[in-house]
Structure 1
Amino acid sequence: MATPISSDRLVAALRAEGVRVVERPGWRTHNRNHKGPWGPVNGVVIHHTVTSGTSNTVSICERGYEGLPGPLCHGVIAKDGTVHLIGNGRANHAGRGDGDVLRAVIAERTLPEANAAETDGNTHFYGFECENLGDGHDPWPPSQLDAIERAAAALCRVHGWSAASVIGHLEWQPGKIDPKGFTMGWLRERVAARLKSKPSGGSSGDGSKGGSTSTYVVKSGDTLSGIGKKLSVSWERIAQANKITAPYIIKPGQKLTIPGKTPGGAYTPPPFPNGLAPGRSSPSAKGLQQALKDTEWLDPAAPLADNYGPHTQKAVAGFNRKHNLFTTGRPNDPAIGRRGWDLLHRLAYGH
């Protein structure tokens, strides 16, 4: 039993355990505290999402569904091992479960079978949703399993809990099957082994060791700033290490050398591109569209294109209205200016 930790302490605990963290805009105040108590906390619940695609998954977990508002967890653990923090406080993830299971978690003893649903789990558990279809066929990459282990261990370590405090949704609520594809006994063994040593530090996955390098293979839709955000490495250092210059174009399949991250480095937005304007075609439009997607101003399913077309213009106009950025003085200005470009990228990728 413990008092929930602060948002700053959560981030610090995850990163100390070697978790690669992305802080989504507004996550520190995104919660359901007005609907019920948050805490005392007693453990961590692991879920799978029944979704695919990181951007889509994060968006769903942030916003929720009709009748089940977000946040649907505290963090989304993506296939690549990145933990996207989306909520801080009470979240709609555990639902009502078995009080006997809660008492076993508190006592850190073997769990009974969940056969009742009379206790509010959203009060008592941190929750991580893991990107997976949950059909028993969708793979669990090693980087993702490693991140699940590290994230669970981070909360156990900061609260002084044992691995017995980590449970699956299927162990809490009757009728649930998640997570499907690995057993919770197996995960608890990994968490227990990790807790026997000091926090490893450094990020899990690619680009994790300070002062060393690793390789990243560019995927469709990737941008340098997005890769830098994902790997907690300055995008400028990635560009420099790979001799990439303006307009900073990368292609799917391209192998990038990722330098070791520099602790404490401040995020710097990409340089404002020349020729980026409504109705024009420019390779930089893709970078603008990706940043708009990552800040939820543009539909995650919209394809990236060189054309600064109507969908991009509408998203930019909304962003400008929200932040009082009108480069032409019009209330629905579709043009992104230098100030807007910098702010958009800091909101999307700054730490």
Structure 2
Amino acid sequence: MATPLTADQLLAALKAEGLTVHEHTGWRTHNRDTATGKTFGPVHGVLIHHTAGHGDKELCYNGRPDLPGPLCHSWLGKTAGLWMIGHGRANHAGLVDLDVLNALIAEKSPLPHDDQANADGNDSLYGLEIENLGDGHDPYPASQYHQAVLWAAAICRKHGWSERSVAGHREVQPGKIDPSFDMDDFRADVKAELAKKPGGTVTPKPTPSTPRVDLSRLITAAKTDPAARQGHVTYMAGTNLVEAALVKLGYLGKTYAGDGSFGSTTVTAYSKWQRHLGYSGKDADGIPGKASLTQLGKSSGLFTVVA
């Protein structure tokens, strides 16, 4: 928990970390504070997103008809570099899970499951949007990913936070799947950066790893959630990724995805996926197996599997 950095402080912190920073015209006063009557801060951490598109810097600045800009504090292009988009309250986080927010404040690890949307994340989280389709196939250039690590490290360093003050959008808001790389690995990279002097030499990873789905936890969810009470969640992050993959490949309607519950509709959709792979009988009962789940992750590009 801290007072938000001024525009000058934020800019200086990013540059001190070794980043080249571009300034969008008007970014210093571009925010949603006056329009919403809410003041940005106190701040609790930084939030990482992917844009789900290309060439969307101006979209992040201006927003959409249903969601006014700024949609982040900084935008990071594949080749266009890092741009300052807004300063103050930005429409990037939305409603987040209060338990997760409190864990960021306390710098607890691992983060709890985000099974509620009961706190305003726009008030208290810095947001970075990374230009990427987020489909698991669109690569993050090494330099782009490295700049994202530096951005998060710079803010954490200035506030005296550790890497445990960093979260991905999918970790704080139910139904989200961004960013499309593994946040545990990202936090480890931020930790490594914070252990160095700012602006020091770092060898960037060539490709960030994709999110991981734990097979045993997913099986438990598939066996537990259908008969549980409405809204019960066993494995939020993994279920959301699997449902997003089933939606992407045409086996599940988008309406039924994103609530974190591996319910009967998801079981039916997964069974269809198993039959598509040639399984039948008990091998196509909608309960994930390692081979079918691994192939789902590979075909969708959204995740890898750990047993």
TM-score by length of 1: 0.56
The number of aligned residues is 201
Offset at residue 20 of structure 1 (A): 1.4
Unaligned 5+ runs, structure 2: 205-307
Output the CA distance in 1 between the equivalents of 2:12 and 2:59: 25
Which structure 1 segments of 5+ residues have no match? 206-351
Q: Could you tell me which residue of structure 1 aligns to residue 129 of structure 2?
A: 129
On the 8 A contact 1:52/1:131 being kept in 2, the answer is yes
Equivalent residue for 1:174? 174
User: Contact between 1:31 and 1:90, CA under 8 Å: does it hold in 2?
Assistant: yes
**1:150-170: CA deviations, max 9, x gaps?**
000000000000000010000
By how many angstroms is 1:204 displaced? 10
User: Deviation at 1:77?
Assistant: 0.8
Q: Which residue of 1 aligns with 2:24?
A: 24
Aligned to 2:113: 113
* 1:129 alignment partner, SS class: strand
The residue number in structure 2 matching 1:71 is 70
Whether 1:52 and 2:54 are equivalent positions in the alignment is yes
* Distance in 2, Cα, partners of 1:9 & 1:83: 16
1:88 aligns with 2:90: no
Which residue identity lines up with residue 60 of structure 1 in the other structure? L
For residues 203 and 182 of structure 2, the distance between their equivalents in structure 1, rounded to whole angstroms, comes to: 21
For 2:44, the aligned partner's letter is: N
Give CA deviations for 1:84-143 in whole Å, capped at 9, x if unaligned: 101000000000010000010011012001000010000110000000001110001000
The aligned residue for residue 161 of structure 1 is 161
8 A contact 1:81–1:145 mirrored in 2 = no
Cα distance between partner residues in 1 of 2:33 and 2:200: 32
Residue 260 of structure 1 corresponds to none
Q: C-alpha displacement at 1:19, in angstroms?
A: 1.0
The one-letter code sitting in structure 2 at the alignment partner of 1:156 is C
Q: Hey, what's the Cα distance between the residues in 2 that align with 1:91 and 1:22?
A: 18
Taking structure 1 as reference, are residues 198 and 143 closer, same or farther at Cα in structure 2, changes over 3 Å only? same
After TM superposition, list the pairs within 5 Å mapping 1:119-268 onto structure 2.
119-180=119-180, 182-200=181-199
Q: Which amino acid aligns with 1:47?
A: H
The corresponding residue for 2:228 is none
> CA offsets, 1:164-215, max 9 Å, x none?
00100000100000001x100000000001111110169999xxxxxxxxxx
SS at match of 2:188: helix
Partner in structure 2 of residue 224 of structure 1: none
What is the rounded CA distance, in whole Å, between the counterparts of 1:189 and 1:47 in structure 2? 17
Distance 1:28 1:18 in 2: 21
Q: Show the counterpart of 1:104.
A: 103
Q: Which has the larger radius of gyration?
A: 1
Query: Which 4+ stretches in 1 moved above 3 angstroms?
Result: 201-205
Aligned to 1:94, what secondary structure does the other structure show? coil
Q: Larger helix proportion, structure 1 or 2?
A: 2
Displacement of 1:80 after TM fit?
2.7
> Is 1:39 matched up with 2:37?
no
Give the Cα separation in 2 of the matches to 1:158 and 1:28. 19
- Cα distance in 1 for partners of 2:201, 2:140 equals 22
Paired with 1:11 and 1:124, the residues of 2 have a C-alpha distance of 18
Instruction: Write the distance in 2 (CA, Å) between the matches of 1:128 and 1:108.
Output: 19
Structure 1 residues 151 and 81: CA distance shift in structure 2, 3 A: farther
Distance 1:173 1:22, change over 3 A: same
Give the partner amino acid of 2:168: G
Render the CA deviation track for 1:25-70: whole Å, top value 9, x for unaligned: 00000000121221000100000001112xxx11000000011000
Q: Is the 8 A contact 1:18 1:204 kept in 2?
A: no
Amino acid at match of 2:49: H
Q: Which amino acid aligns with 1:9?
A: Q
- In structure 1, how many angstroms separate the alpha carbons of the residues matched to 2:40 and 2:192? 29
Q: What SS does the corresponding residue of 2:153 show, helix, strand or coil?
A: helix
Matched ranges for 1:272-283 at <5 A:
none
**SS of match in other structure, 2:78:** coil
Q: Rate the CA distance shift 1:204–1:64 in 2: closer, same or farther, 3 A.
A: farther
**Aligned 8 A contact 1:20 1:204 in 2:** no
CA contact (8 A) 1:152 1:191 kept: yes
Quote the sequence identity (%).
54
